[in-house]
Chains A and B, each alone.
Chain A
């Protein structure tokens, strides 16, 4: 099936710093999704992207759907302690399931 490569695997940053993570695919996606998983919880949708080149914001979060349709980026500006968690990229598989990246574990030091 389609593979999603997400990087970096983990990040340790200081509160107030900006964060950037990305996801690449071996094949084209028509939708890119970004999820966040808080400790002890299930993943929750942050941003959905439906068109190549689309740039979408949700508060301090901004995500972009790459022009090639094989990549996506998530940026977090001015990080705060509650940004801690695991961030996953995801895209739909033609077989009706969803493919996920391995996740980026974010730690924010106050």
Chain B
């Protein structure tokens, strides 16, 4: 069974901090994704990666960057956290359909 693991379930950070959200998958999937989930807005794509060191912007990349140095790991970076980045962050991976999700990281920026 595919396992997508997000390193933290809950994070509390201060405005201006640099924040790293880590995601690891164990099924050798080429494609990995970071989504943000907010009430009434569904899941919005921040960035995705289709191979090591490759990345593509999603719908809302502003204020975020990503890193994919190894196939199994995809990191989301908030360069300078702001309160409007308080949200649930979901990592996912796939080879073909469907997506397999992690359990999410609920980030609060104070």
Q: Which residues of A contact B (CB under 8 A)?
A: 1, 4, 6, 9, 31, 33, 35, 40-45, 48, 88, 90, 92, 95-103
A46 to chain B, nearest CB (A): 10
Q: Which of B41, B58, B98, B102 contacts A48 (CB 8 A)?
A: B98
Tell me if B97 is interfacial: C-beta within 8 Å of chain A: yes
How far is A55 from B4 in the complex, measured between Cα atoms in Å?
30
Report if A33-B98 is in contact (Cβ < 8 Å); known contacts: A42-B90, A102-B42.
yes
User: Could you tell me if B4 and A42 are in contact, using CB atoms closer than 8 angstroms?
Assistant: yes
The residue in chain B whose Cβ has the minimal distance to the Cβ of A91 is: B97
B91 to chain A, nearest CB (A): 8
Q: Which residues of B contact A (CB under 8 A)?
A: 4, 31, 33, 35, 40-45, 48, 50, 56, 58-59, 90, 92, 97-104
User: Could you tell me if B104 and A95 are in contact, using CB atoms closer than 8 angstroms?
Assistant: no
How far is A45 from B40 in the complex, measured between Cα atoms in Å?
20
Q: Which B residues are in CB contact (< 8 Å) with A41?
A: 103-104
User: Could you tell me if B48 and A96 are in contact, using CB atoms closer than 8 angstroms?
Assistant: yes
How far is A98 from B48 in the complex, measured between Cα atoms in Å?
10
Report if A96-B98 is in contact (Cβ < 8 Å); known contacts: A43-B90, A88-B42.
no
Q: Which B residues are in CB contact (< 8 Å) with A31?
A: 97
User: Could you tell me if A40 and B98 are in contact, using CB atoms closer than 8 angstroms?
Assistant: no
The residue in chain A whose Cβ has the minimal distance to the Cβ of B98 is: A45
The residue in chain A whose Cβ has the minimal distance to the Cβ of B48 is: A97
How far is A4 from B44 in the complex, measured between Cα atoms in Å?
11
